[in-house]
């Protein structure tokens, strides 16, 4: 496993496993990934325990604001907002970026392999959606 640490931020490329056929939508405004969490992750205050999930994101055309969702099947477990950002160099791997604080791995970003675009997760916008089902399921 490759782990890069800067202050309290860590990038763990093997922290989640991508399904072979999972990909982004053709328009680049939304997408999803099948992930397998190996450790608990906090998405802005909501703890997601290890297991298989669908990580989804969508953004309005012409906007940098992104809505992030983690679901198990059709049940939404947590949502957050973030920003679509671009860096000078593309990421060499696909990864979740997290900050370790108070013993928890808080999700702070999503990197895409060979892309200079990424998602920076806002830290104060999550909500637990226990019992809420998604309207449609993306695969």
pTM metric for this prediction: 0.70
Q: How many domains does the chain have?
A: 1
Residue 134 counted as domain residue: no
CA angle, corner 28, sides to 46 and 22, nearest 5? 65
Domain that holds residue 11: 4-128
CA angle, corner 4, sides to 120 and 2, nearest 5? 110
Find all residues with CB under 8 Å of 17, minimum gap 6, and list them. 34, 35, 36
Mean pLDDT: which of 18-22, 98-102, 118-122 is highest? Answer: 118-122
pLDDT confidence bin for 28, thresholds 50/70/90: low
Residue 120 counted as domain residue: yes
Q: 24 pLDDT exceeds 60?
A: no
Residue 138 counted as domain residue: no
The C-alpha atoms of residue 19 and residue 38 are separated, in whole angstroms, by 15
Mean pLDDT: which of 88-92, 125-129, 133-137 is highest? Answer: 88-92
pLDDT 10s digits, 41-55 = 999 789 999 999 999
Residue 139 counted as domain residue: no
Residue 133 counted as domain residue: no
Q: What is the pLDDT of residue 104?
A: 84
Residue 116 counted as domain residue: yes
Residue 57 counted as domain residue: yes
Residue 79 counted as domain residue: yes
């Amino acid at each position: 496993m490759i782990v890069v640490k800067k202050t309290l931020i860590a990038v763990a490329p093997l922290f989640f496993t991508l399904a072979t056929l999972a990909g982004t939508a053709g328009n680049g405004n939304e997408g999803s990934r099948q992930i397998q969490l190996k450790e608990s992750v906090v998405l802005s205050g909501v703890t997601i325990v290890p297991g298989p999930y669908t990580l989804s994101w969508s953004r309005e055309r012409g906007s940098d604001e992104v809505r992030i969702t983690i679901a198990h099947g059709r049940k939404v477990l947590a949502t957050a907002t973030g920003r679509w950002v671009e860096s000078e160099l593309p990421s060499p791997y696909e990864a979740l970026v997290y900050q370790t604080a108070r013993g928890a791995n808080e999700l702070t970003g999503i990197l895409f392999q060979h892309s200079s675009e990424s998602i920076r997760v806002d830290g104060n916008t999550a909500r637990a959606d226990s019992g809420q089902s998604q309207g449609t399921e993306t695969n």
